[in-house]
A and B are shown apart, each in its own frame.
Chain A
Amino acid sequence: MKFTLSPELEAFRQDVRRFVADNLSPATRAKVDEGRRLVKADYVDWYRILHAKGWITPGWPVEHGGTDWSPLERYIFEEETALGGAPPVTGGINMIGPVLIAFGTPEQKAAYLPAMRRGDLWWAQGFSEPGSGSDLASLSTKAVLEGDHYVVNGTKIWQTQAAYADMMFALVRTRFEGKPQEGITLLLLDMKSPGLSIQPIRTIDGGQELYQCFFDNVRVPIENRVGADSKGWTYAKYLLGFERHGIAGIGHAKRQMVRIKRIAAAEQDRGTRLIDQPRWGERIALLEIELMALECLSLRLIQESEMMGAGKGPGVEASILKIRGTELRQEMFELLTDLTGPYVIPFDEEVMRSGWGNAAPVGPAHAATIASNYLDSRKISIYGGANEIQRNVLAKSILGL
């Protein structure tokens, strides 16, 4: 045990930090800072910068454009990019990417992987259905093989930014007998396919990033099947076990802590900055301590799994990081809401997208996005396996019942 990390890792951290500071567009960083909505270009521009540096797919094998970083280096990279205000790498890179590498055909790899790395191909995830959330294996979107095509009928829900997507990877039911897990197939659907339509869903934060997708006799060529028919559950589990180094969201949490302190220094009560008042100072301190403890836990679990040679980051302990990481960030948004006081009440959707522009802000400029960000933060303990499901998983591993 040593208080400081190795000089090499410290140098690596500084490299990443400098890279983000030098290359991320200030406009994007400002949006992330202020909690405003990002658009596709904000993501893709950043992905192209990462791609040019060779850092877009650190988790992929080297022959497919990976960086061959250790789990700890990948953790530091994720933390520093989030801390520096970069948009998260999403759009399927860390989800369907590894699955195609492990189970895809040479044609699928050639068709998709390079385009994903360049930022030219965005994926939607087609897992959940209106009747299948936590109980994913109960899904019922049906695919029937007719000649050399699957014909897909049904609906998928909670696709993030489906309007940005070129393709969707979807779990569909190809067999109806046996255990629910055994009849599921993983298909790749072109979002422009005839019969495929999307419908936005307004969420409580005022956002419109989620969609429901409908399939009406959508024809999917058989070469767009990943792996074998009815083996989709295996691939889905592989996919969900990937990229859990950063699951605690330490970089995001640190960035929110910076925001908390900035706002607590800007807001005053009876002439005293909130940050200088014990009742607020101690609430902030308590969250900082929780953040320190979680950061120590993340580092410890990654180092322990690295030492055990697991190579992939934490196993079932990732559920601990998911639970605590999401709860902590939610506590931070609660505090942000409280710090903002009465100006948390006005709500202007246009400001969420574009800021105040030339108009004079209503209340302090930082206030406009807080309520929306707070409401949006309620999702993080639901998606990626609701925290109650994570607790079930952990209980099983502790008790073995």
Chain B
Amino acid sequence: MDFILNEEQMLLRDMAARFAADARARQEKTPEEPGRRWSRFAELGLLGLTLGEAHGGLGGGGVETMIVAEEMGRQLLTEPFVPAVAMVSPLIGELGSKDHHEQILPRLAAGEVLVVPAFLEPEARYDLAQVATIARADGDQVRITGRKAVVLNAPQADLLLVSTRSAGATGAMEGISLYLVPCQAPGVSLRAITTLDGRPAAEVNFDAVAVAATSRLGSAGTALPAIERAVDRGIAALAGEAVGAMAALLDLTAEYLRTRKQFGAPIGKFQALQHKLVDMRVALELARSVAAAAAMAVDIPDAELRRRFISAAKVQVTRSGRLIGQAAIQLHGAMGMTEEYGAGRYLKRLVVIGALYGDFAHHLERFAATAEPAGLPN
């Protein structure tokens, strides 16, 4: 594995870092209307990051997505970059018809349309095949009935990309189809919620929602592998976001240890605190390294090896996130418990990332089920 960014990737990182820092500064000065913030992403081409050049995008892959996500995490931006850009755009690019490509992709890149994934269900926990939402043919239409759980950014979205079952029992790998469903369609109802880290989300109910049969992505009943790939792209991006948040939190904590004085000395002089800070740094470096590996693995053809890296990254990032987030609060003392200070915002983001698309236990199990790559001498 080659961990060194090439020149374009370094330029992208610098650009994303400036953009994200600027976005946070603006946000803190005068809160902007969310649509305005999102269009700034489009102006820099970030919304077309993962689209092919044929669709007016930059043709970026897992690494480019991670680079931007890391800067977003560092500044705790809440825009739906991961669901929209890391997950949905490549999925539409991959499975969509010519019409989908022509009608949706340019508008995604321009920030005119927001499409977010709605894959998981209240009873499914993290199993992408536990799809009880039914798509039933009805003339040249399809009627969708079911529920989707904790759909991030659904209240802002124009379209939902919904996994549905057109055949087979709940839990079967076959029989899953993807549909683009307008949020305004009759029968779609949202119960809006706010996430722990301050993002809009919703529980979404579909009551015999009629959509055109042409709004299906790809062939009927075969969408699961593509959904899994999209989720893996999302996890790799979230890992990058978590790394950015962890790095910022470590910097914040180190600065506090340098400046806060007790017993006549900066508290960073005390070994007990020093060693805890070092453990945070070790956890960060491990997470950063395996997150980068996962970002590289997103685009490889070997699905088994990809799963192995993605799940390893999710496990490591979740553990490192907990360790860093919790130690940061501890090292700040009571100040860390205050809403005003802000260390807690990072912990909240890290907890949310840990619970998105498979927690520690889910990915540990998934990793254990993958085969070790061949080639080890014995």
Residue-wise interface mask of A (1-43) relative to B, using a CB-CB cutoff of 8 A (1 in contact, 0 not): 1111110000000000100110000000000000000000000
Q: Does A317 contact B (CB under 8 A)?
A: yes
Contacts of B258 in A (CB 8 A): 399-401
Q: Does A281 contact B (CB under 8 A)?
A: yes
Chain A interface residue count, Cβ-Cβ cutoff 8 angstroms: 46
Is there an interface contact between A1 and B365, defined as CB atoms closer than 8 Å? no
Q: Which residues in window 271-299 of B have CB below 8 A to A? A: 271, 274-275, 277-279, 281-282, 285-290, 292-293, 295-297, 299
Is there an interface contact between B290 and A392, defined as CB atoms closer than 8 Å? no
Report which of A282, A296, A399 forms a contact with B3, defined as CB distance below 8 A. Answer: A296
Q: Does A284 contact B (CB under 8 A)?
A: yes
Contacts of A320 in B (CB 8 A): 281-282, 285
Is there an interface contact between B278 and A286, defined as CB atoms closer than 8 Å? no
Residue-wise interface mask of B (289-325) relative to A, using a CB-CB cutoff of 8 A (1 in contact, 0 not): 1101101110110000000010110011000000000
Q: Determine the interface band of chain B, counting residues with CB < 8 A from chain A.
A: 35 or more
Q: Does A170 contact B (CB under 8 A)?
A: no
Cα of A297 to Cα of B9 in the assembled complex, Å? 19
Candidate in A17, A290, A293, A388 with the most chain B CB atoms within 10 angstroms: A293
Is there an interface contact between A303 and B275, defined as CB atoms closer than 8 Å? no
**Chain A interface, >50% SS class:** helix
Contacts of B3 in A (CB 8 A): 1, 296, 299-300, 303-304
Candidate in B2, B6, B271, B300 with the most chain A CB atoms within 10 angstroms: B2
Cα of A395 to Cα of B275 in the assembled complex, Å? 7
Is there an interface contact between A5 and B312, defined as CB atoms closer than 8 Å? no
Residue-wise interface mask of A (288-319) relative to B, using a CB-CB cutoff of 8 A (1 in contact, 0 not): 11101110110111011001000000000100
A303 CB to closest chain B CB (Å) equals: 5
Report which of B278, B292, B293, B296 forms a contact with A394, defined as CB distance below 8 A. Answer: B278
Q: Does A285 contact B (CB under 8 A)?
A: yes
Q: Does B59 contact A (CB under 8 A)?
A: no
Candidate in A20, A289, A297 with the most chain B CB atoms within 10 angstroms: A289
Report which of A284, A288, A293, A399 forms a contact with B257, defined as CB distance below 8 A. Answer: A399
A341 CB to closest chain B CB (Å) equals: 21
Q: Which residues in window 1-40 of B have CB below 8 A to A? A: 1-6, 9
Cα of A299 to Cα of B3 in the assembled complex, Å? 8
Q: Does B254 contact A (CB under 8 A)?
A: yes
Q: Does B125 contact A (CB under 8 A)?
A: no
Is there an interface contact between A254 and B274, defined as CB atoms closer than 8 Å? no
CB-nearest residue of chain B relative to A393? B278
Contacts of B266 in A (CB 8 A): 401
Q: Does A360 contact B (CB under 8 A)?
A: no
Contacts of B275 in A (CB 8 A): 388, 391, 395
Is there an interface contact between A289 and B289, defined as CB atoms closer than 8 Å? no
Report which of A83, A296, A388 forms a contact with B292, defined as CB distance below 8 A. Answer: A296
Contact flag A1-B292 (CB < 8 Å), given A254-B376, A320-B281: yes
Cα of A254 to Cα of B275 in the assembled complex, Å? 28
Q: Does B377 contact A (CB under 8 A)?
A: yes
Cα of A83 to Cα of B300 in the assembled complex, Å? 26
Is there an interface contact between A1 and B5, defined as CB atoms closer than 8 Å? yes
Is there an interface contact between A392 and B282, defined as CB atoms closer than 8 Å? no
Cα of A258 to Cα of B309 in the assembled complex, Å? 19
Report which of A20, A258, A293, A388 forms a contact with B376, defined as CB distance below 8 A. Answer: A258
Q: Does B206 contact A (CB under 8 A)?
A: no
Q: Does A324 contact B (CB under 8 A)?
A: yes
Is there an interface contact between B287 and A293, defined as CB atoms closer than 8 Å? yes
Q: Does A162 contact B (CB under 8 A)?
A: no
Contact flag A282-B368 (CB < 8 Å), given A1-B2, A21-B377, A323-B282: yes
Q: Does B268 contact A (CB under 8 A)?
A: yes
A247 CB to closest chain B CB (Å) equals: 14
Q: Does A84 contact B (CB under 8 A)?
A: yes
Is there an interface contact between A1 and B377, defined as CB atoms closer than 8 Å? no
Q: Does A359 contact B (CB under 8 A)?
A: no
Cα of A323 to Cα of B282 in the assembled complex, Å? 8
Contacts of B274 in A (CB 8 A): 391-392, 395, 399
Q: Does B191 contact A (CB under 8 A)?
A: no
Write the residues of chain A forming the contact surface with B, with a CB cutoff of 8 angstroms.
1-6, 17, 20-21, 83-84, 254, 258, 278, 281-282, 284-286, 288-290, 292-294, 296-297, 299-301, 303-304, 307, 317, 320, 323-324, 388, 391-392, 394-395, 398-401
Can you list 23 pairs linking A and B with CB atoms under 8 Å apart?
A2-B2, A3-B1, A5-B2, A21-B377, A84-B377, A282-B365, A285-B364, A288-B312, A292-B290, A292-B309, A293-B286, A293-B290, A296-B290, A304-B3, A307-B4, A317-B285, A320-B281, A320-B282, A388-B275, A391-B274, A398-B278, A399-B258, A401-B269
Q: Which 7 A-B pairs have the closest CB atoms?
A: A395-B274, A296-B289, A285-B368, A297-B289, A300-B3, A293-B290, A3-B296
Task: Given contacts A254-B376, A401-B266, list 19 more A-B pairs with CB under 8 A.
Answer: A1-B3, A3-B293, A5-B1, A5-B2, A278-B368, A289-B311, A289-B364, A290-B286, A293-B286, A296-B290, A297-B290, A300-B288, A300-B289, A303-B4, A391-B278, A394-B281, A399-B254, A399-B268, A399-B277
